[in-house]
Amino acid sequence: MSGISKIGNKTKIIAFIAIFAALFAVLRRIPTVPMVGVAGAYFSLSDVAAPIYGAILGPLTGGLSVVLGTFLAMALGRPAPFLGLDFLPATVNVIAIGLLLKRKWGIVVILNAVLLLTFLLHPFTSILVNIPIGETTVTFPFAWLHIVAFVVLISPLGRKAANWVLTLETPNIAKGLAVLAFVGTMMQHLMGNLLYEIIFGQVLQYYSQVEFATVIWPSVFFLYPVERLALIILAVVIGTPLVRVLKKSVFADNSSNTA
């Protein structure tokens, strides 16, 4: 990419979308953990890339890269359990982080609030889950970590995180990216949960409302915090040096590329 600064902006954007879409497609074919209740489906390594794409490419270029990369992965044989809408969760993540780094904080707050409220109001959502502890049962909010992420977003951290990343200093990038990845990854999970309920519960009718309440969500309750934490840690470890290097070189003077 040494000669990339000599290329026109529109050409650069097309080139970046093509390159990062191809990379996303490859990562999407690398499995990590199985999806609960979806035979043969799995989460992929591309979930780690989503917040990094948002930080490096921005909401538009990053979002288009994810959408095209997802469809390319489908064309190459990657299962599409969400009936072709599989691009939505990661795209929400990328757009949210990209907008936060453009200081469009209010838009992300509204988007997060809409996703959270829609999920909580959906008839297949379990607001509370019963957790057996010894001989007793404790009732706990299923979406507790999503609520924490929303609180982080609307707190001063939600704005400071973008400023930390934009300093391009390694310690600041790491802590800023950790906050952004936490918010974006939880928004991605909300979008994925909604698709799961709508498609497998209402459209395909694989699971009933009772099965969601008694089997699916109680199982996911224990898994999703660990799974999301692992994704955030990997995104920070991998993304910190990438953001620093690429923002200081390839994207140093190309703000339009991170539109």
pLDDT tens digits for range 118-138 = 999 999 999 999 887 777 888
pLDDT at 201 over 90: yes
- 90 phi and psi, to 5 degrees? -65, -35
The CA R_g of the chain, rounded to the nearest whole Å, is 19
What tokens were used for 19? 């390159």
pLDDT at 2 over 50: no
pLDDT at 36 over 80: no
- 253 phi and psi, to 5 degrees? -120, 30
* Cα–Cα dist 60/38, whole Å: 31
Tokens 């840690």 identify what position?
233
pLDDT at 255 over 90: no
Among 111, 109, 149, 146, CA closest to 127: 146
Provide the pLDDT for residue 202: 95
What tokens were used for 146? 């999503």
What tokens were used for 32? 């990590």
Q: What is the pLDDT of residues 145-183, one digit of tens each?
A: 999 999 999 999 999 999 999 999 999 999 999 999 999
Tokens 């489906």 identify what position?
41
Reduced to 3 DSSP states, what percent helix, strand and coil does the chain have, rounded to the nearest 5? 70, 5, 20
Q: State the chain's mean pLDDT as an integer.
A: 90
Provide the pLDDT for residue 257: 41
Neighbour count for residue 201 (Cβ, 10 Å): 20
With b meaning 16 or more CB within 10 Å and e meaning fewer, what string describes 57-88?
A: bbbbbbbbbbbbbbbbbbeeebbebbeeebbb
With b meaning 16 or more CB within 10 Å and e meaning fewer, what string describes 15-46?
A: ebbeebbeebbbbbbeeeeebebbeebebbbb
pLDDT at 34 over 80: no
Provide the pLDDT for residue 9: 81
Across residues 12-29, what is the average pLDDT?
Answer: 94
Provide the pLDDT for residue 71: 97
> In this predicted model, which residue has the larger pLDDT, 12 or 93?
93
Q: What is the pLDDT of residues 38-76, one digit of tens each?
A: 666 677 889 999 999 999 999 999 999 999 999 999 999
Neighbour count for residue 192 (Cβ, 10 Å): 21
% of residues, the chain, pLDDT over 90 = 77
Query: Per DSSP, what are the bridge partners of residue 240?
Result: none
